[in-house]
Structure 1
Amino acid sequence: MFSMKKPFVPTEFVVPLRVEQAGYTLSPLTTAHVDKDYEAVMSSRESLRHIFCEYDTTWPKGSMTLTDNYRDLARHQQEFDERQAFAYTMETPDGQSCIGCVYIYPCQRGNYDAQVYYWVIDSVKPDGLEADLDEFLHRWLKETWPFELPVFPGRGISWQEWEGLNHGI
């Protein structure tokens, strides 16, 4: 969990619970998504190792179990419920498959107030869905969320620059 001196989002802010876009929907990531999320994570685990840092050998492990994934989703769900962080599942419009995730966390580096990570499964990357999601997220965060300066580590800022930023503003 995150410890924050002030709330991540204002009390009066209405956190979006469902967003529909052409080709996908976003909704809070919960334990109800465990099977679909696990399948998505394991299908693209090698490329996911570049999502939260330059290269992570610890997540997702090849030996990750459905129970491990359930624990992760329970943590994300609790953070969302407590408004400490916001993880969204990205599903096909019919809700049959998880095709990615979006994570919005508080940020204490530089002048940034939110750090955003996202991924899509390898099989939809050739369709341009990752680029569409990137464009949407930048617009959505600017127009809907109360952030002044969100950052996309490893995407909008290099990992080297990100790691060099001061912590704890």
Structure 2
Amino acid sequence: MFLVTDPPEPPATDAFVLEPLRPDLIDLDTEAYLTSPDVIREHSCGRWPVVGFGREDNLPLVIRHWSDHQARRAFTYLFLDPEGTSSLGCLYVQPLFPYLESMGADAQTLLRYAGGATARVSYWLRQDSGPELAASVAERVDEWLRTSWPLDSYLYRATPEEEFTVSSLDRLPLDRVVIDLPAEPHSYLWWSAQVRGGTTRMVS
């Protein structure tokens, strides 16, 4: 269970606006997804379909995300351009502990990240964006999570192929951590932050 009952108002910046992913935004979401096949393959480790995927395929996924958002099970946002006319990508804020448990994390790791107010954060940005947007997204999203969300801690997850995301997160005051997940078939990079006092601890 994700113990976040009242997510904060999403930020609006000069580079992007965050909006919860709702069914009425499906066309913007689908367009960004379909024009970013390499990004989608890198972000999902090839798990998400690209060829032959369309609006009707995306609709039940968007409905599920919106249902989870309303039920406070997980939160999905679109990065929109400042005018709100185009999607720049997606942000996911999900409970961390159930994922660690399902992927066979050891008892020490589970204890370290136990609790319903610890989040797993990931995002992708459309293929025609560049390092400037990636840097702005990393800085503003991290500020928002750190100062506005009722979280104990949060971890970013990215693949090594997401070069702009990796370099942007490496520039933030975060700690690279290594998490051993025997049931996870994909190799991910992780960055850890704590927001309610204490120090960030490395996982080995």
Q: Which interval holds the TM-score relative to the shorter structure?
A: 0.7 to 0.9
> Which residue in the other structure is 1:40 paired with?
32
Structure 1 letter corresponding to 2:43:
I
When the two structures are aligned, how many residues end up with a matched partner? 152
Contact in 2 for aligned 1:17/1:27 (Cα 8 Å): no
Structure 1 letter corresponding to 2:92:
Y
> Which residue in the other structure is 2:153 paired with?
149
Q: Which runs of 5+ in 1 are unaligned?
A: none
> Which residue in the other structure is 1:29 paired with?
21
Aligned match of 2:129 in 120, 124, 132?
124
Larger gyration radius, structure 1 or structure 2: 2
TM score, norm. by length of structure 2? 0.68
**Secondary structure in structure 2 of the residue aligned to 1:115:** strand
1:68-87 counterparts in 2 under 5 A? 68-87=57-76
1:104-148 Cα shifts (integer Å, max 9, x gaps): 00001333411001111121225x101110111111111001112
Contact in 1 for aligned 2:92/2:123 (Cα 8 Å): yes
Q: Distance in 2 between matches of 1:43 and 1:36?
A: 11
RMSD of aligned C-alpha atoms?
2.1
Aligned match of 1:107 in 68, 79, 96?
96
Contact in 1 for aligned 2:81/2:88 (Cα 8 Å): yes
Q: Distance in 1 between matches of 2:154 and 2:49?
A: 25
Shift of 1:39: 0.6
